[in-house]
Protein backbone atom coordinates (compact mmCIF):
# COMPACT_ATOMS: atom_id res chain seq x y z
CA UNK A 1 0.00 0.00 0.00
CA UNK A 2 1.35 3.43 -0.93
CA UNK A 3 1.94 5.96 1.81
CA UNK A 4 -1.06 8.13 2.64
CA UNK A 5 -0.52 11.88 2.82
CA UNK A 6 -3.26 13.42 4.99
CA UNK A 7 -5.08 16.51 3.79
CA UNK A 8 -5.35 17.91 7.33
CA UNK A 9 -2.46 17.83 9.81
CA UNK A 10 -3.77 20.36 12.34
CA UNK A 11 -4.75 18.19 15.32
CA UNK A 12 -7.28 20.71 16.66
CA UNK A 13 -8.98 20.98 13.29
CA UNK A 14 -8.97 17.20 12.85
CA UNK A 15 -10.72 16.81 16.18
CA UNK A 16 -13.65 18.88 14.87
CA UNK A 17 -14.02 16.46 11.97
CA UNK A 18 -14.45 13.32 14.10
CA UNK A 19 -16.62 10.76 12.33
CA UNK A 20 -16.73 12.70 9.06
CA UNK A 21 -15.98 11.19 5.65
CA UNK A 22 -15.07 13.24 2.56
CA UNK A 23 -14.94 12.38 -1.14
CA UNK A 24 -12.03 14.37 -2.55
CA UNK A 25 -9.84 14.93 -5.58
CA UNK A 26 -6.11 15.40 -5.02
CA UNK A 27 -4.62 17.76 -7.65
CA UNK A 28 -0.96 17.48 -8.49
CA UNK A 29 1.58 19.12 -10.78
CA UNK A 30 1.19 22.78 -11.59
CA UNK A 31 -2.12 23.11 -9.70
CA UNK A 32 -0.44 21.88 -6.53
CA UNK A 33 2.42 24.33 -7.15
CA UNK A 34 0.03 27.29 -7.46
CA UNK A 35 -1.75 26.18 -4.30
CA UNK A 36 1.48 25.94 -2.32
CA UNK A 37 2.63 29.35 -3.58
CA UNK A 38 -0.59 31.04 -2.41
CA UNK A 39 -0.53 29.27 0.93
CA UNK A 40 3.13 30.12 1.54
CA UNK A 41 2.48 33.80 0.80
CA UNK A 42 -0.31 33.94 3.39
CA UNK A 43 1.73 32.04 5.96
CA UNK A 44 4.66 34.42 5.53
CA UNK A 45 2.52 37.55 5.78
CA UNK A 46 0.37 36.40 8.73
CA UNK A 47 2.64 34.08 10.69
CA UNK A 48 1.45 35.54 13.99
CA UNK A 49 -2.26 34.79 13.46
CA UNK A 50 -4.27 31.70 14.48
CA UNK A 51 -4.80 30.36 10.95
CA UNK A 52 -5.11 26.66 10.13
CA UNK A 53 -3.63 25.50 6.84
CA UNK A 54 -4.55 22.26 5.05
CA UNK A 55 -1.56 20.02 4.52
CA UNK A 56 -2.50 19.04 0.96
CA UNK A 57 -4.48 20.64 -1.84
CA UNK A 58 -7.87 19.01 -2.30
CA UNK A 59 -11.18 19.54 -4.06
CA UNK A 60 -14.01 18.25 -1.87
CA UNK A 61 -16.91 16.81 -3.83
CA UNK A 62 -19.05 15.50 -0.98
CA UNK A 63 -18.87 15.28 2.78
CA UNK A 64 -20.76 13.04 5.17
CA UNK A 65 -21.44 13.85 8.83
CA UNK A 66 -20.48 11.87 11.91
CA UNK A 67 -22.37 8.61 12.11
CA UNK A 68 -21.98 7.77 8.42
CA UNK A 69 -20.62 4.21 8.06
CA UNK A 70 -17.38 4.23 6.12
CA UNK A 71 -18.42 1.05 4.29
CA UNK A 72 -21.50 2.81 2.92
CA UNK A 73 -19.40 5.68 1.57
CA UNK A 74 -16.93 3.22 0.04
CA UNK A 75 -19.72 1.35 -1.75
CA UNK A 76 -21.16 4.63 -3.00
CA UNK A 77 -17.84 5.93 -4.32
CA UNK A 78 -16.92 2.65 -5.96
CA UNK A 79 -20.15 2.72 -7.97
CA UNK A 80 -19.93 6.42 -8.76
CA UNK A 81 -16.24 6.45 -9.73
CA UNK A 82 -16.60 3.61 -12.24
CA UNK A 83 -19.00 5.75 -14.29
CA UNK A 84 -17.34 9.15 -13.79
CA UNK A 85 -14.72 10.27 -16.34
CA UNK A 86 -11.25 11.50 -15.40
CA UNK A 87 -11.73 15.08 -14.24
CA UNK A 88 -9.80 18.24 -14.98
CA UNK A 89 -9.05 20.75 -12.25
CA UNK A 90 -8.16 24.22 -13.52
CA UNK A 91 -7.56 27.16 -11.17
CA UNK A 92 -9.17 30.55 -11.79
CA UNK A 93 -8.43 33.00 -8.98
CA UNK A 94 -7.79 33.47 -5.27
CA UNK A 95 -10.94 34.49 -3.42
CA UNK A 96 -12.74 33.86 -0.11
CA UNK A 97 -15.73 32.34 1.58
CA UNK A 98 -16.81 35.21 3.86
CA UNK A 99 -18.17 35.05 7.40
CA UNK A 100 -19.17 32.81 9.04
CA UNK A 101 -16.75 30.54 7.14
CA UNK A 102 -13.70 32.84 6.83
CA UNK A 103 -11.79 30.65 4.37
CA UNK A 104 -9.30 31.75 1.71
CA UNK A 105 -9.68 29.59 -1.39
CA UNK A 106 -8.32 29.05 -4.86
CA UNK A 107 -11.43 28.85 -7.00
CA UNK A 108 -11.59 26.00 -9.52
CA UNK A 109 -13.32 26.31 -12.88
CA UNK A 110 -16.79 24.74 -12.89
CA UNK A 111 -16.51 22.54 -15.97
CA UNK A 112 -19.43 20.57 -17.36
CA UNK A 113 -17.71 17.33 -16.37
CA UNK A 114 -17.08 18.44 -12.78
CA UNK A 115 -20.63 19.72 -12.40
CA UNK A 116 -22.20 16.54 -13.78
CA UNK A 117 -19.95 14.41 -11.57
CA UNK A 118 -21.08 16.36 -8.51
CA UNK A 119 -24.76 16.09 -9.46
CA UNK A 120 -24.51 12.36 -9.96
CA UNK A 121 -22.61 11.82 -6.68
CA UNK A 122 -25.18 13.78 -4.67
CA UNK A 123 -28.10 12.06 -6.37
CA UNK A 124 -26.62 8.61 -5.81
CA UNK A 125 -25.98 9.37 -2.13
CA UNK A 126 -29.58 10.55 -1.76
CA UNK A 127 -30.99 7.45 -3.43
CA UNK A 128 -28.96 5.28 -1.06
CA UNK A 129 -30.24 7.37 1.87
CA UNK A 130 -26.79 8.05 3.28
CA UNK A 131 -26.70 10.53 6.18
CA UNK A 132 -26.47 14.15 5.08
CA UNK A 133 -25.98 17.60 6.53
CA UNK A 134 -29.00 19.57 7.78
CA UNK A 135 -30.95 21.33 5.03
CA UNK A 136 -29.53 24.74 4.26
CA UNK A 137 -26.02 24.14 5.59
CA UNK A 138 -24.56 23.06 2.22
CA UNK A 139 -25.07 25.09 -0.98
CA UNK A 140 -27.37 23.65 -3.60
CA UNK A 141 -25.57 21.87 -6.40
CA UNK A 142 -26.28 24.78 -8.78
CA UNK A 143 -24.57 27.16 -6.34
CA UNK A 144 -21.59 24.98 -5.47
CA UNK A 145 -18.19 26.63 -5.95
CA UNK A 146 -15.41 24.16 -6.69
CA UNK A 147 -12.35 25.18 -4.75
CA UNK A 148 -9.11 24.41 -2.95
CA UNK A 149 -9.23 25.62 0.65
CA UNK A 150 -5.96 27.45 1.38
CA UNK A 151 -6.43 28.91 4.88
CA UNK A 152 -9.07 28.38 7.58
CA UNK A 153 -9.49 31.64 9.46
CA UNK A 154 -12.58 31.07 11.63
CA UNK A 155 -10.73 32.02 14.82
CA UNK A 156 -9.64 35.43 13.58
CA UNK A 157 -11.13 38.72 14.74
CA UNK A 158 -13.09 40.74 12.19
CA UNK A 159 -10.12 43.09 11.76
CA UNK A 160 -7.56 40.33 11.22
CA UNK A 161 -9.89 38.45 8.89
CA UNK A 162 -10.41 41.58 6.80
CA UNK A 163 -6.65 41.94 6.42
CA UNK A 164 -6.16 38.29 5.41
CA UNK A 165 -9.12 38.35 3.01
CA UNK A 166 -7.88 41.52 1.31
CA UNK A 167 -4.36 40.14 1.00
CA UNK A 168 -5.60 36.87 -0.46
CA UNK A 169 -7.97 38.42 -2.97
CA UNK A 170 -5.17 40.62 -4.28
CA UNK A 171 -2.87 37.69 -5.03
CA UNK A 172 -2.65 36.83 -8.72
CA UNK A 173 -2.06 33.30 -9.94
CA UNK A 174 -0.97 31.85 -13.29
CA UNK A 175 -3.16 29.56 -15.36
CA UNK A 176 -2.77 25.96 -14.22
CA UNK A 177 -4.64 22.70 -14.75
CA UNK A 178 -4.26 18.98 -14.20
CA UNK A 179 -6.18 15.82 -15.00
CA UNK A 180 -7.21 13.60 -12.10
CA UNK A 181 -7.76 9.90 -12.64
CA UNK A 182 -8.75 8.74 -9.16
CA UNK A 183 -10.93 9.88 -6.29
CA UNK A 184 -10.15 9.39 -2.61
CA UNK A 185 -12.09 9.04 0.62
CA UNK A 186 -10.62 10.90 3.59
CA UNK A 187 -11.96 9.50 6.87
CA UNK A 188 -11.65 11.03 10.35
CA UNK A 189 -11.94 9.05 13.57
CA UNK A 190 -10.49 9.45 17.06
CA UNK A 191 -8.49 12.54 16.11
CA UNK A 192 -6.83 10.91 13.12
CA UNK A 193 -7.25 11.14 9.37
CA UNK A 194 -6.78 8.01 7.30
CA UNK A 195 -7.51 6.77 3.79
CA UNK A 196 -10.92 5.26 3.19
CA UNK A 197 -9.70 4.11 -0.21
CA UNK A 198 -8.74 5.35 -3.67
CA UNK A 199 -10.92 4.58 -6.68
CA UNK A 200 -9.99 4.94 -10.36
CA UNK A 201 -12.29 7.12 -12.41
CA UNK A 202 -13.93 5.82 -15.56
CA UNK A 203 -13.33 2.09 -15.27
CA UNK A 204 -16.61 1.47 -17.10
CA UNK A 205 -15.58 3.73 -19.94
pLDDT in tens, 8-64: 999 999 999 999 999 999 999 999 999 999 999 999 999 999 999 999 999 999 999
Give the domain CATH number at 140: 3.90.1140.10
Residue 2 lies in a domain: no
pLDDT band at 135 (very low <50, low <70, confident <90, very high): confident
Residue 1: inside a domain: no
- What is the per-residue pLDDT for 21? 98
Q: Are 202 and 84 in contact (CB under 8 A)?
A: yes
Contact 56, 82 (CB under 8 A): no
In a domain, 6, yes or no: no
* % residues pLDDT > 70 (the chain): 99
Residue 72: domain span: 11-200
Query: Given a cut of 70, is residue 1 above it in pLDDT?
Result: no
For 77, the enclosing helix (H) or strand (E) is helix 70-83
| Confidence band for 205, pLDDT divided at 50, 70 and 90 | low
pLDDT beyond 50 at 138 = yes
Contact between 14 and 60 under an 8 Å Cβ cutoff? The reply is no
Instruction: For the sheet with 59-64, list strands across it.
Output: 59-64, 21-25, 182-189, 192-200
Tell me the whole-structure pTM to 2 decimals: 0.94
| CA nearest neighbour of 185 among 104, 116, 125 | 125
Residue 118 has pLDDT above 60, yes or no: yes
Mean of pLDDT values over 70-80: 98
The answer for 158, left when phi > 0, alpha when psi is -120 to 50, beta otherwise, is alpha
Length in residues, the chain = 205
Q: How many domains does the chain have?
A: 1
Bond from prior residue into 117 cis (ω within 30 degrees of 0): no
Q: What's 2's DSSP letter?
A: P
Q: What is the pLDDT of residues 180-196, one digit of tens each?
A: 999 999 999 999 999 99
| Domain contains 3 | no
25-38 tens-digit pLDDT: 999 999 999 999 99
The model's pLDDT over 150-160, given as tens digits with 9 standing for 90+, comes to 999 999 999 99
Among candidate residues 65, 89, 64, 33, the one with its CA nearest the CA of residue 201: 89
Determine the Cα–Cα distance for residues 95 and 54; give it in Å rounded to an integer: 16
Assess whether pLDDT exceeds 50 at residue 124: yes
Q: Is residue 5 part of a domain?
A: no
Gap between the Cα atoms of 27 and 59, Å rounded: 8
Residue 133 domain flag: yes
Quote the mean pLDDT of the chain.
96
Amino acid sequence: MKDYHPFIDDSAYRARLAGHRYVVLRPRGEVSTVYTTVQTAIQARFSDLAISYPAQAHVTLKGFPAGTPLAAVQALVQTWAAEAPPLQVAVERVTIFPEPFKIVIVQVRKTVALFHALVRLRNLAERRTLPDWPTGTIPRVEEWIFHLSVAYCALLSATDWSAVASFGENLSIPAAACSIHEVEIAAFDEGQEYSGGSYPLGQNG
